[in-house]
């Protein structure tokens, strides 16, 4: 069984790329890999409607509803772990999921959580990767798919894609070009894992 749950927070374009790859490359027949659920921590995430349009089951767990809890981050992570576990996935795919997960979540899904990050890790973990790459004078940007551990964007790298920076690039144009490559990279990386190559 290679069932998957995808976590999103926003536009969900990587989730769509994964769902399309799952269908077009017959992940269910080849690997027993079915996307069981798409979960968003934001009720207004545009990706939710895209997931429903693709026939995927969706759920929302709003992190803001934990804000009065003495340990809001851990309480959210515990509830998220329960929700994810209820779908019994083998893999948890973070796709533009804008929350740092604590060990409360990660200890339940050890060696099972992947993320896509818009930089050539270990360069530029965290936010504003394209601005920082441009400010540093980089000639190449890119994206990485990596295993998730409790250190931010620091887990072992599964696969990467390189995107050359053009002289006229600003953060927006670079982000758009990297994003189109992310849509190729993430399905490729997941397929590597599903076929036991990573
Ligand atoms: C992507 O650039 C991803 O690498 C980053 O957030 C963005 C999400 O885009 N973590 P989308 O929601 O998949 O469209």
Write the pLDDT tens digit of every residue in 82-115.
999 999 999 999 999 999 999 999 999 999 999 9
**pLDDT score for 49:** 98
16, 46 Cβ separation under 8 angstroms = no
Name residues of the chain where pLDDT drops below 50.
none
CA of 96 to the centre of ligand 1 (A): 4
Per residue, the 3-state secondary structure of the chain, as one string, reads CCCEEEEECCCCHHHHHHHHHHHHCCHHHHHCCCEEEEEECCCCCHHHHHHHHCCCCEEECCHHHHCCCCCHHHHHHHHHHHHHHCCCCCEEEECCCCCCCCHHHHHHHCCCEEEEECCCCCCCCCCCHHHHHHHCCCCEEEEEEEECCCCCCCCCEEEEEEEECCCCCCHHHHHHHHHHHHHHHHHHHHHHHHCCCC
**pLDDT score for 46:** 98
Catalytic residues: 117
Of all protein residues, the one whose alpha carbon is nearest to atom 3 of ligand 1 is: 96
Cβ–ligand 1 distance for 185 under 6 Å, the answer: no
Give the number of other CB atoms < 10 A from CB of residue 124: 22
**pLDDT score for 197:** 87
Cβ–ligand 1 distance for 119 under 6 Å, the answer: no
CA of 150 to the centre of ligand 1 (A): 19
Of all protein residues, the one whose alpha carbon is nearest to atom 10 of ligand 1 is: 96
**pLDDT score for 166:** 96
Of all protein residues, the one whose alpha carbon is nearest to atom 1 of ligand 1 is: 96
118, 143 Cβ separation under 8 angstroms = yes
**pLDDT score for 130:** 98
Cis bond upstream, residue 122 (ω within 30): yes
Query: What are the chain's domains?
Result: 1-110 (3.40.50.170), 116-198 (3.40.50.170)
Residue with tokens 């409607």, as numbered in its chain: 49
User: Please, which residues bridge with residue 39 across strands?
Assistant: 7, 59
CA of 23 to the centre of ligand 1 (A): 21
**pLDDT score for 198:** 80
């Amino acid at each position: 069984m290679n069932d998957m749950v995808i976590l999103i927070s926003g536009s969900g374009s990587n989730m769509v790329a994964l769902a399309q790859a799952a269908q077009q490359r017959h992940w269910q027949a080849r690997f027993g890999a079915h996307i069981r659920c798409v979960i968003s921590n934001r009720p207004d995430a545009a990706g939710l409607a895209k997931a429903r349009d693709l026939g995927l089951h969706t759920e929302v767990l709003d992190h803001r509803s934990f804000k009065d809890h003495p340990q809001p981050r851990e309480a959210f992570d515990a509830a998220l772990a329960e929700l994810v576990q209820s779908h019994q996935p083998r893999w948890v795919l973070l796709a533009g999921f804008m929350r740092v997960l604590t060990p409360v979540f990660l200890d339940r899904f050890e060696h099972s959580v992947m993320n896509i990050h818009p930089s050539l890790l270990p360069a530029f973990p965290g936010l504003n990767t394209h601005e920082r790459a441009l400010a540093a004078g980089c000639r190449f940007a890119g994206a990485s798919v990596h295993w998730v551990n409790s250190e931010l964007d620091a887990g072992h790298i599964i696969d990467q894609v390189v995107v050359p920076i053009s002289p006229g690039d600003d953060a927006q144009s670079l982000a758009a070009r990297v994003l189109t490559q992310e849509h190729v990279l993430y399905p490729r990386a997941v397929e590597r894992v599903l076929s036991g190559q990573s």
